[in-house]
Amino acid sequence: MVDIRGRTLRTCRRLMVPLLTLALTLIQTAPALALRVSASYWRTPQEKILLYWIDTSSFPDAAQLAQLRANLEKAADGWENICTECGIRFIEVHNQGDATFRVAGVNVQRAYLADGFNPSDPKDKWVLKIDRSYFSPQGRFDKVGILRHELGHILGYRHEHIMASDDRLVTCGWKTERNTGPAAVIALTDYDTSSLMHYPCGLEGDHIQFDFSPLDIEGHRRLYGPAPEVTTPQSPPRETQQPQ
Ligand SMILES: [Zn+2]
């Protein structure tokens, strides 16, 4: 599920006619290419290298900082490894001025464990926030998995469970998540309860991994993978006179 709110949506409105025309043409020849035109955020090889700067002073505990740094690297490796050809990289930098986004420790008292951002947010909101509760040894969520999920948001992916049935949205407490119209998201795959962007319902599950499902990998490759080859219809082979 890719987020197309905010900046991109406004851009789409301005470019509605040319985009629609382009989209119609492309949908017939290369649906995945049409998708990139309308939905991906990080497009150029440079944009796909996402540089992050960790605000070390916001993590008062050195051991926790080291744990966060190592887990973030593993989460980044996960996204890179599911599609090496996609060109998506997350690299730590040591100068804030060089960074695409910032990683900061916060104390929101368990309001969330970690909170990424969507690339449609204003740039001053491009912060991956880590609550103190993230480091709790009793957590039921895998600590690398939490960061994998948050990096998913940073790549533009919305929560998969916003596509759950109305009943389940109410039962599981996700109703307020479905706060955008269908025009604001594009489904990259069928609804997938195994997605790393899908929350468990209530207390279901003991150790939630937030690992990639096969459909996560397929959807990610559709959006960021190598550009599909546009094949032009071949003219039928001409009959040639063979020498006798
Ligand atoms: Zn999330």
Scan for tokens 């039921």, then name that residue. Answer: 140
Of 38-42, 132-136, 181-185, the poorest mean pLDDT is in 181-185
What is the Å distance from ligand 1's center to 8 Cα? 20
**Ranges of each domain in the chain:** 2-224
Residue among 56, 225, 204 at smallest CA distance from 155: 225
pLDDT of residue 212: 98
Instruction: Judge whether residue 54 has pLDDT over 90.
Output: yes
What is the Å distance from ligand 1's center to 162 Cα? 11
What is the Å distance from ligand 1's center to 158 Cα? 7
Name the fold adopted by 2-224: Collagenase (Catalytic Domain) (3.40.390)
Residue among 159, 162, 104, 173 at smallest CA distance from 134: 104
Q: What is the pLDDT of residues 11-53, one digit of tens each?
A: 222 222 333 333 333 344 455 566 666 667 898 999 999 999 9
Q: What is the mean pLDDT of residues 53-78?
A: 98
pTM beyond 0.85, yes or no: no
Which tokens in the block code for residue 111?
């309001």
Residue 22 and residue 18: Cα distance in Å, rounded?
6
Question: Which residue spans within the chain are E strands per DSSP?
Answer: 2-3, 49-54, 89-92, 101-106, 114-115, 127-131, 185-186
pLDDT of residue 10: 30
